[in-house]
Structure 1
Amino acid sequence: MYKKQTDKGMESKGSLKSVMVEIISYLYVLLFVYAAVSKILDFENFQVQLGQSPLLSAFAVGVAWLVPGIELLIAIALIIPKFRSIGLLAALSLMTMFTAYIFIMLHFSSFVPCSCGGILEKMSWNVHLAFNVVFVILAVVAIVLDYKKTGRAIFFPVRSIPITLIASTVIVIFLFLSSEDIMQHENPFIRRYPQHPVTFRKSIDLKFNSYYFAGSSDDKIYLGNFTDPLHLLEVDTILQHRKQIKMNLNGYNKHYKMVKMVVKGDWFYLMDGSAPFILKGSIKDWKITKEFKDCPYFSIAQPLDHDLIAFRANRGRKAIHILGVFNSNSIPKVTYNHKLLQQQIDGVFDTDGILLSDEKQKKMVYLYYYRNEFIVADKKANLLSRGKTIDTISKAQIKIAFLKDRGERKMSAPPLIVNESAVMCQNLLFVQSKIPGRFEPEKLWKQAEIIDVYDINRKAYLMSFAIYKNRDKKLQYFYVTPTHLYALISNELFAYDLKQIIKKEMKDR
């Protein structure tokens, strides 16, 4: 009698274990089938979300196909009793990967993207993490109960469980580190759009659309005017107050054609490379105190230091572009570096671009218009590095016509513009790109201008964000300070606050 009662008790316990294993197995089946079907039905969006993932961006295409397939295979294995042990171990592995993915993203990633979709889209990432941990625990319980009931396991569960947990976590860590390195230095043209790296603050009407950004100093930004080159508009950083500033040449009688004004820190510069002349003064009284004697002809120029100017000129029989520096206090005053700009077609149009500088970095940066490359040089015009923008246009796609009777060269077809404009702020290079990346909807490019951010010191791509158009009007110029981004769109000036995700990447040196 006692033996029969014992057998019944053991059968009852075994039955309870079976029921618990089946309940947990079918919970996983429900979860994985729902998740896989959701991904398949909205596959394009799922692939885009993976492309934005800080951990899986570089592997988005492969993972997008692999994950729902694995989820369905595990669900099938859990339904068939013969393969349930393997299915439970595979479920534990996959759920551990999902859990490690969210944990790394929340604690070690540079930004957190949008959610995964489906019913889990309504969860915050922290709730999603807790949800995954619960399912990891359920899988562990089911594996142990299944082994005690059937004796089936790939390894003894005491060994198989920690091995599975550790191996799955290591795989995710490896993917994270590999993806980060690929995205920053070998980007497969997948942009990262973190949530709200810049937020709109305010806009003001300037009445005219002929303004450009001359520079900034402390809590002021300065706008030059193409139609009135000796006037500056001073605006405070939050666009509350503005003031007109009139330049007086004070006896420096110059015949100017294309004067550009630049404000760098406590100094302002009036420059015209067609004259040529460069004048300098203090923003305290806006009086010119110095003329840079014997400066060369130049097409564009940027101050690198108080008495040091980086410039681009045209030299030689074919008048190809060349970069150099002008130092008013040295002999010789002009230093050229013929190796900085690399000719692909004609040495003029194919090397056309944007010259930038930062007074704190004391570096010049030259960004090509028609190819995915920028050059970083020091204040003596020595090459420091060459970096790549994330698009794939490595050779300028332009056609040149030579007019022999006039001795001119012209574009014979509209060029493919890769980088339309750019701004330097400390170590960060902000580039307005014209080339859509992978997984980017056409609608986004119709509604906004895309800005890519690079760290010139690490030659690394960091992130991208959109500046939305105002009533379909095009972005003309933008400017970045350590705290704000400003945009000129038609006759309006827009101010945006930089969020911590960008600020933390800025370094003075």
Structure 2
Amino acid sequence: MDFQHFKIELGQSPLLSAFADQFSVFVPVLEIIICVLLLIPRFKLVGLFAAYGLMVMFTAYIFIILHYTSFVPCSCGGVLGKMSWNAHLAFNVVFIFLGIAAILLSANFDKQDIRTSYRKSFIWIFSIAFSGTAAVIFLFICSERIMHYENPFIRRYPRHAAMFRNELDLKYNSYYFAGTSGGRIYLGNSTAPLQLFSVDKNLGNQKVDRIIFNGGKILFHRPTVRVQNHYFYLTDGTVPVIFRGSSKDWTLNKKFNGLPYFDQALPMDSSRIVLRSNKGNDLANILGVFDNDNGRLNYNERLLQKQLDGVFDTDGRLLYDETTQKIVYVYFYRNQFIAAGKDAELISRSRTIDTTSHARLKVSYVKNSTERKMSAPPYIVNAGAAVYGNLLFIHSKVRGKFQDETTWNQAFIIDVYDISRQAYIMSFPIYKIKDEKLKNIMATGDHLYAIIGNSLVVYDFKAILKKEMKSAE
């Protein structure tokens, strides 16, 4: 009566997600066939065996969900929707015994050898139970592998993976995440680049620090502040220049020399910077690591893979995790992210669960083919990203298969990946604030922070997500 809802529920199942299309049709068709068999006296016993076998499979399904899956979804809909999973398990076990009783009462036993007849019936009963349970286990193993490593664009939403904790009105929409230090979250301000706003992990204890700059007259265009441990950095790739200072007095006292022009840069440690620059005749994007101690810049031209022009098609978000010392790059317009080591050596190429493997862009060349522009709005796949340890959090802009329309319209969807295993883990929603856009996200060991319009919000990571963090470690 509600086929589409049934299909969505199967898609969210931690056991049958990968086979939701097939089972959404197979299950009701099989149930109707069993009903027909039960109505025909000649095939009644076959129908009873089939009904018993289906109930055994459903019971095995519930048992596996309760004890072996990564999360327990909402209870089934319909008449039994208000039952807990444990109550449903007990309910099913009762009906399994009723099914056995019905089979024994309906069987035509040989009165000359009733013991043999009973033995044959019980052999069938146990054989069906074993086969049905084995089939469900096999489906579970196959589905888990497909969902984590060959995902057909089906999202999983465990309950309470991340829960809203607090919200802070920033008053202005010019803030961005600068980093963390000493348990505080630092925000830079694009309209006041020498000012840092910080809060504690619960968005309390607000503080404003003023950066002291004595570097002479420099014509900055897009200065950005980054905070890491006890240092902070002022970067501007259009100059290009990077200054470093101590967060003890917020004074810039160290200048990095010999830098190329760049448009993204992140500190790796006190002297090393990972950056994205442009190189070659086509000025394609390229990633490299600059070491200020020896003035060397190590590019790796093979990290970013060109599809169209090498600029727009390779655009993305540059990330760095100091705990694993991994560089992570998430493409905006295709379903791919890469992980590299501290010397920009490739570790892995992984794909996100959506199906956009080729950037959907239209690039036009103007001014005698010396300048390029997008001549049509781009198809954005991954709008933002954050990394913590081996977990990668991606704000996806593409609606998945069996995606609940209400959740999609009311929330921003965050997909979680294990970088080391190159596997999809789960998804969770960050609910929208009015019609404001999600500008950026940042992850720590306990929280996900997001800037939505003028608001800074924090979500707590719950047990299921923390378990994945430990597993990734």
Cα pair 1:305 1:362 within 8 Å, conserved: no
- 2:27 corresponds to which residue? 67
* CA apart distance, 1:272: 1.3
Number of matched residues?
468
Choose the corresponding residue for 1:267, options 217, 227, 231: 231
Choose the corresponding residue for 1:486, options 449, 452, 459: 449
Q: 1:94 to 1:252 in 2, by over 3 A?
A: farther
* CA apart distance, 1:120: 1.1
| Residue 107, structure 1, aligned to residue 99, structure 2 | no
| Residue 310, structure 1, aligned to residue 274, structure 2 | yes
| Residue 381, structure 1, aligned to residue 341, structure 2 | no
- 1:116 corresponds to which residue? 76
What does 1:121-132 align with in structure 2 at a 5 Å threshold? Answer: 121-132=81-92
| Residue 283, structure 1, aligned to residue 243, structure 2 | no
93-102 vs 296-305, greater mean Cα deviation: 296-305
1:96, 1:285 → 2: CA distance? 68
478-487 vs 400-409, greater mean Cα deviation: 400-409
Cα pair 1:270 1:278 within 8 Å, conserved: yes
220-229 vs 86-95, greater mean Cα deviation: 86-95
Cα pair 1:447 1:472 within 8 Å, conserved: no
Q: Which amino acid aligns with 1:68?
A: P
What does 1:318-467 align with in structure 2 at a 5 Å threshold? Answer: 318-330=282-294, 333-405=296-368, 407-467=370-430
Q: Deviations over 1:34-53 (max 9, x none)?
A: xxxxxxx1000000000001
2:269, 2:102 → 1: CA distance? 68
Q: Which amino acid aligns with 1:440?
A: Q
* CA apart distance, 1:153: 7.6
Choose the corresponding residue for 1:142, options 102, 105, 108: 102
86-95 vs 124-133, greater mean Cα deviation: 86-95
Q: Gaps spanning 5+ residues in structure 1: where?
A: 1-40
Cα pair 1:86 1:154 within 8 Å, conserved: no
* CA apart distance, 1:459: 0.8
Choose the corresponding residue for 1:175, options 132, 139, 145: 139
* CA apart distance, 1:211: 0.4
1:253, 1:339 → 2: CA distance? 37
* CA apart distance, 1:417: 0.8
| Residue 187, structure 1, aligned to residue 148, structure 2 | no
Cα pair 2:330 2:338 within 8 Å, conserved: yes
279-288 vs 67-76, greater mean Cα deviation: 279-288
Q: Which amino acid aligns with 2:315?
A: D
Q: 1:265 to 1:108 in 2, by over 3 A?
A: farther
Q: Deviations over 1:358-414 (max 9, x none)?
A: 110101111111111111110111111000011111111111111134721101111
* CA apart distance, 1:217: 2.5
Cα pair 2:336 2:349 within 8 Å, conserved: yes
* CA apart distance, 1:494: 1.2
What does 1:459-478 align with in structure 2 at a 5 Å threshold? Answer: 459-478=422-441
1:153, 1:485 → 2: CA distance? 63
Q: Deviations over 1:152-182 (max 9, x none)?
A: 9898123222221111111111111111111
Percent identity between the two aligned chains: 52
Q: Which amino acid aligns with 1:198?
A: A
Larger helix share, 1 or 2:
1
Q: Which amino acid aligns with 1:123?
A: M
1:154, 1:265 → 2: CA distance? 74
1:90, 1:445 → 2: CA distance? 39
Cα pair 1:430 1:451 within 8 Å, conserved: yes
- 2:2 corresponds to which residue? 42
2:90, 2:435 → 1: CA distance? 44
- 2:206 corresponds to which residue? 242
Q: Which amino acid aligns with 1:342?
A: Q
1:223, 1:291 → 2: CA distance? 22
Return the index of the structure with the highest Cα Rg: 1
Q: Which amino acid aligns with 1:280?
A: R
Q: 1:155 to 1:79 in 2, by over 3 A?
A: farther
2:39, 2:249 → 1: CA distance? 82
Q: Which amino acid aligns with 1:368?
A: Y
Q: TM-score, normalised by structure 1?
A: 0.88
TM-align CA RMSD? 2.0
Q: Which amino acid aligns with 2:189?
A: N
- 1:7 corresponds to which residue? none
